[in-house]
Homo-oligomer: A and B are copies of this chain.
Amino acid sequence: MGKGTKERILFSALKLFSEKGYLGATTREIAKEAGISEVTLFRHFVTKENLFISLLNKHSFLPILKELIKDYQSKPLKESLVAIATAFIKQLRENKALVKIMHAEFNRYPEPIKKVYKNLIEDTISELARYFQNFQKRGEIISIDPYILAQAFLGLFYSYFQCEEIGESERNVKFSEDFIISTYVEIFLKGLLIP
């Protein structure tokens, strides 16, 4: 099958799911938006559910995180965490509409989709947890449960992203985002270092 077609469907699906939600967007619309027939959509993705799950995987933070951890393996912890946080916020912002709508409709999703999404989050946290664990083994940071540590770290920046949504009209530009991220990471790290 033509690769371009699949990409175009995914692109249109992202747009319509973001606008109208998983439940609100119809496969007909998505096909029309992509400029292909509805049948072609099903030939590529079999079910609507499948299409949505493909989207989730495509825009997941997990592969980005894995890349970053690999690249920053030999760099100091602070530098790595800044890079991770920056990428995390960037990824959230790029999928802002989808993230927003997913949280609103989550409890109405069919079970398989819920499961995929939950696993995606858990896997991401676990990946970061494993990263923290290395530093714990080397005795560089204290030995709290690494999963909780990772959850706290991602939660910290997720809430930062959420707050940004609200201050729409005020546009708080007193500090640069880089500065805020760096400060957050410093505070977080200060709590972890061995006394």
Contacts and interface: CB of A to CB of B under 8 A. Distances in A.
A90 B112 CA distance: 37
B166 A21 contact: no
A108 B155 contact: no
A163 interface: yes
Interface in A2-28: 19-21, 23-24
Contact of A104 (B104, B159, B167): B104
A159 B166 contact: yes
Main secondary structure of the interface of A (DSSP, over half): helix
Interface of A: 19-21, 23-24, 100-101, 103-105, 107-108, 155, 159, 162-163, 166-167, 169
A30 to B, nearest CB: 15
Nearest to A168: B159
A155 B168 CA distance: 11
A155 B163 CA distance: 15
Nearest to A25: B108
B24 A105 contact: yes
Contact of A23 (B23, B166, B169): B23
A172 to B, nearest CB: 12
Nearest to A162: B166
Contacts of A169: 155
B104 A100 contact: yes
A104 B107 contact: no
A119 to B, nearest CB: 22
A9 to B, nearest CB: 21
A24 B108 contact: yes
A105 B166 contact: no
A167 B160 CA distance: 11
* Closest CB pairs A-B (n = 5): A104-B104, A24-B108, A162-B166, A20-B108, A159-B166
10 contacts: A19-B107, A21-B105, A21-B108, A23-B23, A24-B105, A101-B104, A104-B105, A155-B169, A159-B167, A162-B166
